[in-house]
Structure 1
Amino acid sequence: MNSRIADHVRPATIEEWLQHYQADSSVFASPTVSLMAHGTALERHTHNAQGQLLSDAQDLLSEAAQQGLHAPLLLGVIPFNPARNAYMRVPTTYQRDPVLRRPVQRPPLARSRNTIASQQLLPDGQGYEDSVSHILATMREQNISKTVMARTVTITLSEALDRQTVLSNMLHSNPAGYTYALPLPGGAAHDPDLFFGASPELLVRRQGDLVTVNPLAGTAPRFADPQRDQASAQTLMASSKDRREHAYVIQDVVRILSRFCDTLDVPEGPSLTSTANLWHLSTRISGRLRDPGVSSLELALAMHPTPAVCGLPTQPAMQAIEATEVFDRGYFAGAIGWNDHEGNGEWAVAIRCGHYTQQGLTLSAGAGIVEGSVPALERQETGNKLMTLINSLGLAQNIAL
């Protein structure tokens, strides 16, 4: 059995590429690769409570090779809390294409066939602001430098998710990011459960002995008016609160990567990066592996969850988050990506994401909380992030956030 379709030479357009997409297909498209996988040769739910997820993944790839799959690859999603169940699958076939060809001008988002039957925010706006105030008090009491507080919107659709339109919108509007769609066990064969999103944040990429990470922390809205948009960007770059939040993330990422790399290329300060809706503070870090046998999944497990989605120190921050938030994050703020038989791979931070089950959607977004955070502004930030994904759904209706 051959698990691999020959790598394509000519970059496809988004529309050409999506012609091969089916409801049970897996997708991971980034600035370096466009990966689409089909079928499920092997799959496994496992967790990392005792540090066994990496060995379980290696066993899965070994089993795939023993069954005759050539150059097997696994795709997976790790939950926010790695002690909960992750999901990994080895596809029957996959194609690894060059970066997709995109139009010079970004086209308007396509309208999907989906309509909303009902919707619910959890918590509502005031409830979210109250949770931010509560966790700020907890942080002072427990000497926690940073946490991340999230909220969700649950949408019931009047029909099955229009996957093709959603993915097309995400791919067009997120050219420098990481668009993903991973079918999950559950649902009907023609309409399986799905975890999907368009993340701006690279957790880790491993290609040979080269390691690259690109943490984001610190956010500001974008505006249609160019002068207002640039003012928002420059205000973010000058914000002591946002730069402090970003520095917490970078310090911890460098600490972890130093265990694997002798030297690291770390810029002196953050730069600006943007999506269609938001500005972010960004720092791109690279290094060379001391041990070339370390896989992308091993690096992802060592780094996840970063302070960008959890906080610092990690365990106290996670405990405070789970004690304060009124919903289970599940895969939101986890890690999603792929790892091949040679250990190469790419993992994105699972944000700007949705979890779809039988005409129901749960969309989630969070904001970094540090001393000086203003609850109303953090609520606004989560609303802007949720709108990034809601816009990609191509819904005609407005959702009050």
Structure 2
Amino acid sequence: MMSVQHPWFKNVLHTEQHDLMKSDQPGFVFAASSGVISTRKIIKQLDLIQTEQSDYAQHMQAWVQQCITELAAHKNSNAVLVGGFPFNHDERPELLLAEASNTCLMPRQDDRRHLALFGQTIAASLLPSSEDYKHGVEAILNQIQTSTLKKAVLARAIELRPAQAVNVAQLFNNLLQDNSDGYTFALASNPAQQGWFVGASPELLVAKQNEQVFSHPVAGTLARHPDYHEDQKRAQQLLASVKDHQEHAMVIEAIADQLAPYCHQLQIPKQPSLIKTKTLWHLATPIHGLLKTADTHVLELVELLHPTPAVCGQPPQLARDLISSLEPFQRNLFTGAMGWSDAQGNGVWSVTIRCARVMNDLIRLYAGAGIVAASKPEAELAETAAKFRTMLDALGIEPEQLVYQ
């Protein structure tokens, strides 16, 4: 992972995560292997203009240009743009212009704590039901057989209604401990109405530092096993999976085709490698390029790449239309882009997966699976269940605690 730095990285704020995430105050924390950034002062919440265009790419282009203009207007204040872009153009980005700090999260003796949900019975709802999700997979498989569709990512959600509010700072800390090699984030642009959007993504959409650009796509997943030897077998099973390699290659090919015109050099390994989180094995490929011009803004690269086939499908518009017809909920920031950019055009943006919207009386968890010709409905359902474990483990929730309505 390339190190993306900003002048404010020279000044380190030493604090506890509980001081960064107040339940009633806007804020943003983003942790990567290169460091943790957090907002010290919110300059403004960006209210981006909704265009009359029906095409997502045109909306994204308009949003990015507004963001670049806002950053340029505050160039001398060391302001950064932080937050998230949504998956669908009919949802609003949640973006803040803020003063940010390189942040050192000071450890606590009780650093890993169970949240209030531990051990209690929790009312839960599936969106859609397991059977309806499998029917959705079958519908996509039918489209793959009868149209030009090659892949579509079908998502589902779990809604939890806890008896008491979750400590978002502790949830963030648990996620960070469990997923220290990824991108852990917490965002609240309007906490009173929208709560916090929290997650731990293993996937880098794009990072840019001067002329260097980096992406680390993830596609192809298998649940880990608590037994070491069985876990290693699963890793090798994923590495040998023709279906998962085909799905992964589709993502890499799309990103390479999009980045190539902007780069005079692009390094892409011929084969993916294995990466792991606490609960999952993934196929991943690190992509590194040298831009033709360092003036290319990281937000222009976000616009270029988002959404990748890893979270949407191929071809994109056909997949997007099918997703809209099958999913009984709005994805919101899920499968969007989450990160930060500075006025110099540098920044880091992750793919917004392994995440949840956390409100006082409602938590909505998201997970999706990429459906290709070789997919099996039961296996894709199991993959989404495995992906939910990232958030459920951080919340301290075991499956037997959930009472489905």
Summarize the Cα distance change of 1:249–1:320 in structure 2 as closer, same or farther, 3 Å threshold.
same
Q: 2:310, 2:370 within 8 Å by CA — same for their partners in 1? A: yes
Distance 2:69 2:165 in 1: 35
Give how far 1:309 is off.
0.3
The equivalent residue for 1:399 is 402
**Equivalent residue letter for 1:187:** A
Tell me if 1:58 matches 2:68. yes
Tell me if 1:73 matches 2:76. no
Per the normalisation by structure 2, the TM-score is 0.89
Give how far 1:331 is off.
1.1
User: Larger helix proportion, structure 1 or 2?
Assistant: 2
Q: 2:341, 2:347 within 8 Å by CA — same for their partners in 1? A: yes
Distance 1:5 1:254 in 2: 30
Question: Which segment drifts farther, 124-133 or 54-63?
Answer: 54-63
Q: 2:77 aligns to what SS in structure 1? A: coil
Tell me if 1:229 matches 2:231. yes
The equivalent residue for 1:94 is 100
Distance 1:90 1:181 in 2: 15
The equivalent residue for 1:387 is 389
Give how far 1:59 is off.
2.2
The residue correspondences of 1:82-121 to structure 2 (distance < 5 A) are 82=89, 84-91=91-98, 93-97=99-103, 110-114=113-117, 117-121=122-126
Question: Which segment drifts farther, 226-235 or 55-64?
Answer: 55-64
The residue correspondences of 1:279-318 to structure 2 (distance < 5 A) are 279-318=281-320
**Equivalent residue letter for 1:55:** Q
Tell me if 1:137 matches 2:142. yes
Q: 1:196 aligns to what SS in structure 2? A: strand
Deviation per CA, 1:211-248: give whole Å up to 9, x if none.
01000000011111111000000000000000000000
Any gaps of 5 or more consecutive residues in structure 2? 1-5, 51-56
Q: 1:111, 1:395 within 8 Å by CA — same for their partners in 2? A: no
Summarize the Cα distance change of 1:153–1:75 in structure 2 as closer, same or farther, 3 Å threshold.
same
The equivalent residue for 1:266 is 268
Q: 2:11, 2:101 within 8 Å by CA — same for their partners in 1? A: no
Q: 2:11, 2:102 within 8 Å by CA — same for their partners in 1? A: no
Distance 1:26 1:217 in 2: 27
Distance 1:293 1:311 in 2: 30
Tell me if 1:343 matches 2:345. yes
Give how far 1:338 is off.
0.4
Q: 1:22 aligns to what SS in structure 2? A: coil
**Equivalent residue letter for 1:58:** I
Distance 1:297 1:42 in 2: 19
Distance 1:386 1:219 in 2: 13
**Equivalent residue letter for 1:36:** S
Summarize the Cα distance change of 1:150–1:109 in structure 2 as closer, same or farther, 3 Å threshold.
farther
Deviation per CA, 1:284-311: give whole Å up to 9, x if none.
0000111211111111111000000001
The number of aligned residues is 384
Q: Which runs of 4+ in 1 moved over 4 A?
A: 8-12, 100-103
**Equivalent residue letter for 2:402:** I
The equivalent residue for 2:197 is 195
The equivalent residue for 2:170 is 165
Give how far 1:11 is off.
9.8
**Equivalent residue letter for 1:175:** S
Distance 2:111 2:82 in 1: 30
Q: 1:29 aligns to what SS in structure 2? A: strand
Distance 1:101 1:222 in 2: 30
The equivalent residue for 2:17 is 18
The equivalent residue for 1:216 is 218
Deviation per CA, 1:182-237: give whole Å up to 9, x if none.
1032517xxx6111100010000111111010000000111111110000000000
Distance 1:285 1:101 in 2: 33
Give how far 1:254 is off.
0.2
Per the normalisation by structure 1, the TM-score is 0.89
Give how far 1:117 is off.
4.6
Give how far 1:393 is off.
1.3
Question: Which segment drifts farther, 341-350 or 178-187?
Answer: 178-187
